[in-house]
Structure 1
Amino acid sequence: MLPSSAHSDRPGEEPPGPAAGVPGDPEAPDSDELDWLALPEPVRERIAELSAAALGKLPADDIPRQLRPIARFAPAKRAKVGGTALLTGLRDSSRFRTAVLEWLREHRTDALDPNSPDSVFAAAAAVLLGESSATSRVRLVAKNTGETALRVERDAAVAKSRRLEGELERLRSELDEARAAAEEARGEREAELDKLRGRLREQGVVLRQAKDAAEQARAEAERAGSGRGSEIDNLAAQLERERQRVATERTRADKAVAEAENARQSAREARDADEVRLSLLLDTLGGAVDGLRHELSVGHTRRRPADTVRGAGTGKHHGDRVQDPATLDRLLTLPNAHAIVDGYNVTKTGYPELTLAEQRNRLIGQLTALAARTGAELTVVFDGAGVTSIPAAAPRGVRVLFSDPGVLADDVIRSLVASEPRGRPIVVATSDQAVVTSVRGSGAHAVPSAVFLARLGRV
């Protein structure tokens, strides 16, 4: 029987013990006391599901304090997460148990049928209602559950046994096949071994015959060589002498050919240089004459006798020192003028704070503009030591040279001045006094780096 509402606890208080008619109550008709937490798992889940459904609809006063946080969950989560707490609350609180039963009678009448054909539903209803048959129904569910588990284990064991028997049969079949293959391989290996043994015997016979033939040939060679040893030594010595003589003659011939080739190359280079100097000198002289005629406004007048006097000169054989940009401009506008620039001497005078690569790039850019403005031939010479980024192509109108390893840029400048013909206007931009002295002695005009930089600044 259900406890009446008169037996309900006051709000916020828990009863001192379980209510009558509920498993665990001393006054229950069934003398066996049920342990709510030790019920079979299907019965526990059923009771937890029903109480979780009712929990969310009950007033807060009917819910034990420890179950109130669970009441905020969804019904499925309440049963899953708070199943043990719900069973404990039903066992310990008659008020909560009564409220749950009242809610189930009103909303889930089918859940309180102890005679339900489903043994789990019947056992859960009997436990909630405190029926005298609750213990026997719980035992029946426990028995059925145990038998079901045993049947599941038995079926699993039978299936596993059958699976293992099939695996055993397969392994036996594979073992038989492996044994047959091994027997077949053993037979093939024995047959191959017999063949190899036969070949080995044949090779042994051939080897013995070859050894006998070799011994016989060695004996014959020793007999034949004893009489020809001295003849062979004489021929070898004569051959070595002839080889040495031929090598000597070949060396002499190669040396003569190399000397002849060097002589031809030197003659060719000298002839080319003379032709270049002569052609350039003729061009320079022609340009100088035309320039003088134009500058002096000299027409085709009759020459005077004094104009033909020979053997006299101005006495001036050295180049000038250019002290201002205006004089430099006049020199650069002369026909076939050639300006040679001491690269690092100029850049370190004008912009020493830059790296060497930046100095070269800046100077070459200024020289390109100067060549386009004046039309003069421009050559800049840099020391080649330590230079790793030589430009692949020279800029338009400027010849960029780097001295070879072990050669100074100053010597390259002297060689450039010496290679020019007498009479061509040559300008050398440098502040190196040793270079100034030597190029002026060759007839070139020397321009200090500062003056040359002042001219570049106007480009």
Structure 2
Amino acid sequence: MLPSSAHSERPEDTVPGPVAAAPGDAASPGQAHVDWLGLPEAVRERVAELAAAALGRLPVEDVPRQLRPVARFAPAKRARVGGSALLAGLRDSSRFRTAVLEWLREHRHDALDPNAEDSVAAAAAAVLLGESSASSRVRLVAKNAEETTLRAERDAALARCRRLEGELERVRAELEQALTATERARNEREEELDKLRGRLREQGVVLRRARDEAEQARAEADQAAAARAEEIETLTAQVERERQRAAAERARADRAAAEAETAKQSAREARDADEVRLSLLLDTLGGAVDGLRRELSVGQTNRRPADTVRGAGTGRRHGDRVQDPATLDRVLALPNLHVVVDGYNVTKTGYPDLTLAEQRNRLTGQLAALGARTGAEVTVVFDGAGVTSIPLAGPRGVRVLFSDPGVLADDVIRSLVGSEPTGRPILVVTSDQAVVTSVRESGAHAAPSALFLTRLGRV
């Protein structure tokens, strides 16, 4: 759109008032003068629309030189692109203004009714006709627009307040449910702990009883072993005495020796039997200990102390907002990074004076250098609307995409982020806050276009 001086005016200057007549523009007696370029937006658009409709039908000599290129546009484009120039022409050229009025009286007589019910149409007609009530009508439109804006802001604030109140109630309800669930879980854990303590006490009693029985059996085995040893010593002494006393009674001595050997064998067998009983008792005690371990699940769990820590979770985090060059460099150094660039958002921030084709060529060249240096996968998305010639191939290492007819480049960017597997680092470069919010919710990092351009300048 052509530049408009109205953009530099203060808010209090937006309500037009009487101004001095433009050079070469004679005002009729009683005719009110208004600031053509300071009209309220609705009145400006209405006046520009009427002038654009007449511009294409007027003789060339009635059209100011600066408006002749605008006359070649379609009517809708004339009003949109050349609105400020049309208003300046109406203000500065009485001949052009008179020609527009004559054309409107002939073809759009209803557009010149200063008493129309539509205040915008009435104000536009009064301005074009130079009515004395033009200033008051323009001020009325400005006032109505301001009141409409204030009402919209008030309604939005009330809606936001109601939404926040509903959210607060929901959070309170969820908190109450969480507290109830926590209290119930705590009570259940306390009851389970009491049961486990009771069973531990019972098993402790059983274990102590088994230990006492084992000690008693060990003492009895020691006594029996001592008795057998004493008996063996007695028999050995007896055999020795019999051998010394009765050499002639060797047969008897041999029998005695055989009896002694039999006694020794019996003693050994008795000791072996006692050892077997002791081993069996120890195995029984070990089985009781293993049963208690299984009952209490001691030593059989795979959990670790770190698994019991509360107040932390493994949920997926939102992607970060990259706000400074150091953070941007750290993100670009991530392995397997995918950089997704909102093409025109970056080029119109960095070099808007170039043509769109030149903007695309310059950006893709810089991205190719960045991809070669960082090793990142680079995809740039341009809005395909109005692009008559799409390049067959982009620079090496850069994927260049154009959105299909009826599809926004923003939606293509969201689809690219959603198609990546969870956990892969993604950096989306755009200053469009709606896109930033949605891609960060999907886990991608977001960097503003201006910051990214500073990084491209160092490549």
User: Is the TM-score greater than 0.5?
Assistant: no
TM-score (norm. length: structure 2): 0.42
TM-score (norm. length: structure 1): 0.42
Structure (1 or 2) with the larger CA radius of gyration: 1
